[in-house]
């Protein structure tokens, strides 16, 4: 099933009715839940992970793949590349598989940031590419978000110079969870990709519920100067396996492959292949994420705390107090939340978890904020 169909399923099925006809969340929760929910230790809500993955099917495939773990991954990678290419509707030479999408971000930062190349990005946003590129001499123009906590695309356009090599867009954005208007986004990309390569980080694309929201892979298909990154870490629950991929025009993909250092492994490849087939777990993950976000919203509403409705698996909310104090106070209550995101130092990012974990979070936050 194509991702757009899967996400449309979430929109049309709603939070209860349709899903109950499929057997209900209770049955699926029992099937996919972690073997042991260690609530006696810290509740980890700081890294935007999927608390339910890998799925039962993926775990079985991983276990059954140990016999080929003695082999180098290249022959197995060919099959995954073909399956990703089919999923995204591109040719195989557009696909670059990486050791997590972070490796794809860093490789791109290296290619376009060397020798003083300039990169434009929002602020705050995900920093992996930007900080890595700076280590190799790149100059990063960090452009503050607008009043809606979205990328200020007009201001970013004005920063483009003859030295600009890459424009980084994290959409939906981390840490704010905001989503750019699809028409404005496309217009920005097609108006500026002749001046610099546009990089669209779509780590959270699967969580978007806006109907017919396009991936910028569509622009790659038009031979535009666009790179798209995707990951198996979030909705598929494979953060610990370290596997992601880039989609780009073949000539760009070839350049990026030369900069990739962290190749993935056989177990991750086989896990990713099964994850692409496991529609039930994909739907389950999206459903449980929605349920957890609604719980977070209810908690924040009860405390009178402002927040940004999220298109991701986390929520960004205004604490009104120094974030480092909140992090320490929540840790004392056995809950780990997101790191500071300068310059927004009185905002906090909370990842979604199981409902048991969300209830622990709510009790802790109510205690800390009171």
User: What is the reported pLDDT for 263?
Assistant: 86
| pLDDT > 60? residue 61 | yes
| pLDDT > 80? residue 28 | no
Q: In DSSP terms, which residues pair with 347 in a beta bridge? A: 318
User: What is the reported pLDDT for 31?
Assistant: 63
| pLDDT > 50? residue 17 | no
172 prior amide bond cis, ω within 30: yes
Position 160 confidence tier, pLDDT thresholds 50, 70, 90:
very high
Q: Minimum mean pLDDT among 8-12, 101-105, 186-190, 324-328: which range?
A: 8-12
Compute the distance between CA of residue 57 and CA of residue 79 in angstroms, rounded to an integer: 18
| pLDDT > 90? residue 3 | no
Position 115 confidence tier, pLDDT thresholds 50, 70, 90:
confident
Cα–Cα separations (whole angstroms), residue 224 to 97, 181, 187, 194, 266: 20, 19, 12, 8, 32
User: What would the mean pLDDT of 44-53 be, rounded to a whole number?
Assistant: 96
| pLDDT > 60? residue 64 | yes
Q: In DSSP terms, which residues pair with 226 in a beta bridge? A: 198
Model confidence pLDDT, tens digit, residues 329-354: 999 999 999 999 999 999 999 999 99
Burial profile 165-204: b = 16 or more Cβ within 10 angstroms, e = fewer: bbbbbbbbbbbbbbbbeeeebeebbeebbeebbbbbbbbb
Distance from the first to the final alpha carbon of the chain? 47
Instruction: Tokens for 214, please give them.
Output: 């396009």
| DSSP-assigned letters across all residues of 38-71 | -TTS-EE-SS---TTPSPHHHHHHHHHTGGGTTS
Long-range contacts of 216-220 (CB under 8 A, 24+ apart): 216/185, 216/189, 217/88, 217/89, 217/90, 217/247, 219/186, 219/189, 219/190, 219/193, 220/90, 220/94, 220/247, 220/248, 220/249
Compute the distance between CA of residue 273 and CA of residue 79 in angstroms, rounded to an integer: 8
Position 25 confidence tier, pLDDT thresholds 50, 70, 90:
low
User: What is the reported pLDDT for 20?
Assistant: 42
The dihedrals phi and psi of 235, each to the nearest 5 degrees, come to: -65, -30
Q: What is the pTM of this model?
A: 0.92
Model confidence pLDDT, tens digit, residues 232-248: 999 999 999 999 999 99
∠ at Cα 347 (345, 353), nearest 5°? 135
* DSSP character at residue 25: H
Structural domains for the chain? 3-55+278-369 (3.90.1150.10), 59-277 (3.40.640.10)
Instruction: Tokens for 360, please give them.
Output: 């622990």
54 prior amide bond cis, ω within 30: yes
Report the mean per-residue pLDDT for the chain: 92
Compute the distance between CA of residue 360 and CA of residue 220 in angstroms, rounded to an integer: 43
Model confidence pLDDT, tens digit, residues 296-329: 999 999 999 999 999 999 999 999 999 999 999 9
| pLDDT > 90? residue 11 | no
Which among 142, 72, 44, 127 has a CA at the least distance from the CA of 351?
44
Tell me the chain's radius of gyration from C-alpha atoms. 20
* DSSP character at residue 272: H
User: What is the reported pLDDT for 234?
Assistant: 98
Model confidence pLDDT, tens digit, residues 270-281: 999 999 999 999
Compute the distance between CA of residue 120 and CA of residue 110 in angstroms, rounded to an integer: 14
Compute the distance between CA of residue 169 and CA of residue 59 in angstroms, rounded to an integer: 33
Position 355 confidence tier, pLDDT thresholds 50, 70, 90:
very high
Of the chain, the percentage scoring pLDDT greater than 90 comes to 87
Question: In degrees to the nearest 10, what's the CA dihedral of 159, 163, 165, 169?
Answer: -10
């Amino acid at each position: 099933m194509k991702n757009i169909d899967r996400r449309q399923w979430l929109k049309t099925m709603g939070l209860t009715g349709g899903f109950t006809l499929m057997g209900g969340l209770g049955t699926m929760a029992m099937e996919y839940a972690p073997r042991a929910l260690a609530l006696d230790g810290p509740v980890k809500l700081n890294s935007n992970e999927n608390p339910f993955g890998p799925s039962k099917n993926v775990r079985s495939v991983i276990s059954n793949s140990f016999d080929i773990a003695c082999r180098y991954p290249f022959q197995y990678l060919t099959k995954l590349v073909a399956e990703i290419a089919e999923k995204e509707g591109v040719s195989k030479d557009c696909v670059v598989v990486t050791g997590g999408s972070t490796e794809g971000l860093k490789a791109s930062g290296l290619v376009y940031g060397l020798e003083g190349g300039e990169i434009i990005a929002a602020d705050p946003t995900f920093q992996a590419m930007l900080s890595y590129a700076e280590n190799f001499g790149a100059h990063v123009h960090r452009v503050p978000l607008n009043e809606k906590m979205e990328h200020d695309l007009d201001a970013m356009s004005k920063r483009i110079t003859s030295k600009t090599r890459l424009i980084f867009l994290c959409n939906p954005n981390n840490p704010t969870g905001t989503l750019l208007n699809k028409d404005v986004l496309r217009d920005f990309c097609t108006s500026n990709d002749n001046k610099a390569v546009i990089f669209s980080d779509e780590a959270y694309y699967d969580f978007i519920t806006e109907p017919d929201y396009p991936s910028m892979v569509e622009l790659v298909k038009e031979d535009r100067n666009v790179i798209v990154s995707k990951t198996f870490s979030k909705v598929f629950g494979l953060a610990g396996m370290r596997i992601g991929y880039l989609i780009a025009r073949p000539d760009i993909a070839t350049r990026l492959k030369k900069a990739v250092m962290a190749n993935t492994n056989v177990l991750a490849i086989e896990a990713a292949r099964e994850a692409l087939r496991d529609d039930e777990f994909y739907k389950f993950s999206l459903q449980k994420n929605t349920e957890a976000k609604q719980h977070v919203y209810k908690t924040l509403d009860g405390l009178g705390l402002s927040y940004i409705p999220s298109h991701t698996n986390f929520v960004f909310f205004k604490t009104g107090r120094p974030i480092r104090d909140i992090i320490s106070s929540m840790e004392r209550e056995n809950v780990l939340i997101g790191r500071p995101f300068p310059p927004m130092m009185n905002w906090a990012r909370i990842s979604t978890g199981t409902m048991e974990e969300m209830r622990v979070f709510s009790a802790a936050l109510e205690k800390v904020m009171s």
